[in-house]
Amino acid sequence: MLPPDIERQRATLEQMSAEELLVWGSRRFGTSIVFATSLGAEDCAILDMIARQTLPIALATIDTGVLFRESYALWSRLEKRYGVEIAAMRTDLLRDSGPAPEIDRLWETAPDQCCRLRKMVPLRRELSGRAAWITGIRREQSETRRNAQPVEWDAAFGLVKINPLVAWTNDQVWSYLRANDVPYNPMHDTGYPSIGCEPCTSPVGEGESGRSGRWRGRDKTECGLHVVPATFVSSSEESRLKPAPTTTHVGAGSSRPNE
Ligand code: SF4
């Protein structure tokens, strides 16, 4: 659950702008907060806000080893533009010689396990020992994110989760990017509103939802970082999956599973 002092500020936090939430998070958590950027449009806006305010927030992104060339290029571009380092969160199963056999092309046969090993394990390692993390999720992105709150307790990872853009619309995100000349992935202009790993991302057609290009043709809709699967991965890459706790969304009055 949320620390008592944050719980008491809940109403105030819900009224804060994205920039104000980032300043609050930086002051409240000091060096114990990290922004785990997905390199998506929302996360580019958040990085711009952090940089403009020179907030001393650690930056990291998950490198699954199979991101699009454009995503790797954007990663470098953002670092140069803002003069920052965005650390890589990467599974130990990705080696210089290539992926370990247990994860090689795992998305073809077991995408949930692939996401756990390539994303969840390195993220969990980064978040262990931290007190808070920042994400770019928005409520309107999907049904599973509908109850997300500006500040909530992430029981799966055991820390506070700050979602500065949770109430923003897609138009607000793009207005911010354009108004501030923020670098973003050019694939967004060619039918890819949501960009993940190359093997699991396809373009979206007219009238389709923004995330419909992710894991197309499968039941899977989330990699597990922000939703509620029935299982949770432990910090050991070799360990088996363990039952998951639930995540409480402040103000939502309900719990949902998380991983
Ligand atoms: Fe694997 Fe696809 Fe998940 Fe990336 S999005 S980790 S390739 S299953």
CA 119 to ligand 1 centroid distance, Å: 8
> Which of ligand 1's atoms lies nearest the C-alpha of 106?
1
Is 142 contained in some domain?
yes
- Does the residue 58 lie in any domain? yes
Q: Which domain holds residue 41?
A: 4-250
Answer whether residue 256 is part of any domain: no
Q: Is residue 257 part of a domain?
A: no
User: Does the CB atom of residue 120 touch ligand 1 within 6 A?
Assistant: no
Task: Report pTM.
Answer: 0.87
Please give the pLDDT value at position 227: 63
pLDDT value of residue 226? 78
Residue 259 within any structural domain of the chain: no
pLDDT attached to residue 206: 86
**For the domain that residue 227 is a member of, what is the CATH number?**
3.40.50.620
Predicted confidence at residue 207, as pLDDT, reads 86
Tell me the CA–centroid distance for residue 251 and ligand 1, in Å.
32
- Evaluate whether residue 127 is within a structural domain: yes
85 CA → ligand 1 middle, Å:
24
Annotation says 44 is catalytic: no
| Residue 255 within a domain | no
Within-domain flag for 258: no
Average pLDDT across each block of 10 residues of the chain; the chain has 259 residues. List them in order.
Answer: 95 97 98 98 98 98 98 98 98 93 94 95 96 97 90 95 97 98 97 94 89 82 64 40 36 27
| Number of compact structural domains in the chain | 1
DSSP per residue, the chain: ---HHHHHTHHHHHH--HHHHHHHHHHHHGGGEEEE---SHHHHHHHHHHHHTT---EEEEE--S-B-HHHHHHHHHHHHHHT---EEE--TTEETTEE-TTTTTHHHH-HHHHHIIIIIHHHHHHHTT-SEEE----GGG-GGGTT--SEEEETTTTEEEE-TTTT--HHHHHHHHHHTT----GGGGGT-SS--BGGGB----TT--TTTTBTTTSS----SSSS--SEE--S-TTSPPEE--EEEPTTT--EEE--
Q: Using a 6 Å cutoff on CB, does residue 64 contact ligand 1?
A: yes
Q: Ligand 1 test: best mutation among 39, 62, 63, 66, most atoms within 8 Å of CB?
A: 66
Q: Is 94 a pocket residue for ligand 1 (Cβ < 6 Å)?
A: no
